[in-house]
Chains A and B, each alone.
Chain A
């Protein structure tokens, strides 16, 4: 039986011009003309299709339902912990408190936020064993690197290493040439920012399914700032929290990118490798959120899949990029530059286990990451690496991520 289906799209975009747009979903009326041999049946039905919103901006009763102050607090904390790990006057107790207790920050509003970074580190993907690595790095920075801040480092000896010439970089490294603040922060990009989004808040089984009944019923579980009573469903808020791990230090409606020290900063850099990637991600966040309001979970999951695979690329690109860059630096005799790049690479490789590609799988398993990092730090660590070796490792990463080499 041959059926010809003609779809006449009659777009009735309801563009609201009100100051506080109440319209969250724009509707399309779709007229279907179904022709079968012998007879023509015209069926007119209204199909609700969610149109992409212009910005990540959603209201109910004129009040914004979007908030993610907890995420903003955590990404800001990460910025301060990064600075502390580069400041030799901090003690282990102080940095431990910042990481695990969420106190001791220069920005005192963070101290009272009730949030911590550690509780959200390596929570879902990869391995739970990753969490304690971060504690170890705080110990190492404060007890191994800080005491030798102003003495010369060399192969097998922790200390300062500076590249010759004008503007030569100066790094403070452990005996293997590792810059702990870089490993820690780049590791946190995967273990916190990405993991929370990709394997937590935007994950069906982990978070979203459990919130579906409430979303369907219109149960409000959270009260947004400015509202007098609960006005946000659980599922809406979960999605916003995911959004916050990427845009917590950025502008909600017009993200500038490059903010803070985590995923947002590196998304901006990857934009030059893959123009349009950041817009894809932002648009998917916005459309996915609109889909939740419209209770269209298929559309929501399609957008989640885009966000997950695109954000994972940031990690994939940068892991290979810094290995190649570090290799070049070694050949040029710029060891401080090399150690810096390889420390960043080390953190990004650690982060690979928290990624999700288009098929929903991580680029690297935890075991693969560990084996890879062991090779990177074998012997006297970065002092022993060669450009050829690092190039080969970068090529291995490219093969797994399917991404093109960018340097």
Chain B
């Protein structure tokens, strides 16, 4: 890691000293990422070749074609899930349970596309903490259900709500489906009430975030400068933080035991359903790739400005010119590794944890490129630190 930093630093110095030599002739190359480049195609000295990278355009694409549409889809998915859950109250059948599970998975997959956007309202209302904290605290969920009274806003209850708690409520409260259905067969049972409270909380949080984007959008796009609080800096940091923690650590590292004495298979995402940890991880990797490349949400043929375009714009010196492609090929390798794993990471970890660790390594290889090389190129500082641990 240190070696990498030193190497990059060296490259940076070389790059810097080179550009100062020929900044007369190569105006295109001396673009400082700290400048706000909203003056696209200015006719300085009658030279219309100055290709500036329009950062507002990138932010607008992020907001209009990726972020807002994915939030919209999430709220829609959750509304569909809620309709089905309501029907469970008077119709606790195997068929209904299967439909609910299916809708839960669809919404959970959509969630993989929004978890990385921890800006604006999402950050303010601790959206992530209400949606995807796992493993759940089973004891506390049981206590909540039995008491019939709980405050889902209290941080103590983060681990009792969101998609993982739904996973528990739909798959984990009995040893088989009959036993699970039993819990919902009494109309307005405490279990049903808890389930509906969970989905209501998720809908209300998602709606708050989605609606806020209608007004926040312009503010977000206008903040195109390079400061610690500007949109690009914050979202770049969120993106990498998500990749490092939400994806690498939570989905792979922690359950595989990278950070502990023993492997911890009960900490996988989608623990109770047993068969979706891989699907969710692949969806998440897809979301990362799409955001990096600039593929519009659910419309991959529409490509806009994102990190890849920004990097190839900034990396004009020969040494770094392939960084964007490098990141994508390493990412593709990681996807390949994930594809080789069992659908259930619990099974995978118990049977062959080495494959899980190898996958972790391949994801870690991307982290290094994003966190060191990419941020260096974008001239953005990391705004988060690893916890001291104790």
A residues within 8 Å of B by Cβ?
A: 149-152, 159-168, 170, 265, 336, 344
Contact = CB atoms under 8 A, between A and B. Distances in A.
A151 B156 CA distance: 8
B40 interface: no
B390 A344 contact: yes
A242 to B, nearest CB: 25
Given A150-B140, A165-B155, A166-B245, 20 more contacts: A150-B137, A150-B156, A151-B143, A152-B151, A152-B156, A159-B156, A161-B156, A162-B154, A162-B156, A162-B158, A164-B126, A165-B126, A166-B126, A167-B245, A167-B387, A168-B129, A168-B155, A168-B158, A170-B156, A265-B390
B155 A163 contact: yes
Contacts of A162: 154-156, 158
The listed residue with most A CB atoms (<10 A of its CB), out of B128, B156, B387, is B156
The listed residue with most B CB atoms (<10 A of its CB), out of A165, A265, A344, is A165
Contacts of B155: 162-165, 168, 170, 336
Nearest to A169: B387
B19 to A, nearest CB: 36
Interface in B107-161: 118, 126, 128-129, 137, 139-140, 143, 151, 154-156, 158
A160 B126 contact: no
A325 B382 CA distance: 21
The 7 closest A-B pairs by CB, nearest first: A162-B155, A150-B140, A162-B156, A160-B156, A164-B155, A165-B126, A166-B128
Given A160-B156, A161-B156, A163-B155, A150 B129 contact: no
A159 B154 CA distance: 13
Contacts of A166: 118, 126, 128-129, 245
Nearest to B154: A152
Nearest to A186: B390
Contacts of B143: 150-151
B66 to A, nearest CB: 21
Interface string B210-247: 00000000000000000000000000000000000100
Contacts of B126: 164-166
Contacts of A161: 156
Nearest to A151: B143
A166 B143 CA distance: 23
Nearest to B132: A166
Nearest to B143: A150
B230 to A, nearest CB: 21
B369 to A, nearest CB: 23
Nearest to A325: B388
13 contacts: A150-B137, A150-B143, A152-B154, A161-B156, A162-B155, A164-B155, A165-B129, A166-B118, A166-B128, A168-B129, A168-B158, A265-B390, A344-B390
B245 A150 contact: no
A339 B173 CA distance: 34
Contacts of B118: 166
Nearest to A162: B155
A264 B387 CA distance: 20
B24 to A, nearest CB: 45
Contacts of B158: 162, 168
A186 to B, nearest CB: 10
A149 B139 contact: yes
Nearest to B123: A165
Nearest to A337: B387
A344 B154 CA distance: 25
Nearest to A336: B155
Nearest to B155: A162
B253 to A, nearest CB: 14
Nearest to B115: A166
Contacts of A160: 156
A150 B154 contact: no
A161 B158 CA distance: 11
Contacts of A165: 126, 129, 155
Nearest to B128: A166
A180 B118 CA distance: 34
A317 to B, nearest CB: 14
Contacts of A164: 126, 129, 155
A285 to B, nearest CB: 25
The listed residue with most A CB atoms (<10 A of its CB), out of B129, B158, B390, is B390
A327 to B, nearest CB: 16
A366 to B, nearest CB: 26
Contacts of A149: 139
Interface string B32-68: 0000000000000000000000000000000000000
Contact of A150 (B139, B151, B387): B139
Nearest to A265: B390
A175 to B, nearest CB: 16
A25 B126 CA distance: 63
Nearest to B118: A166
Nearest to B142: A150
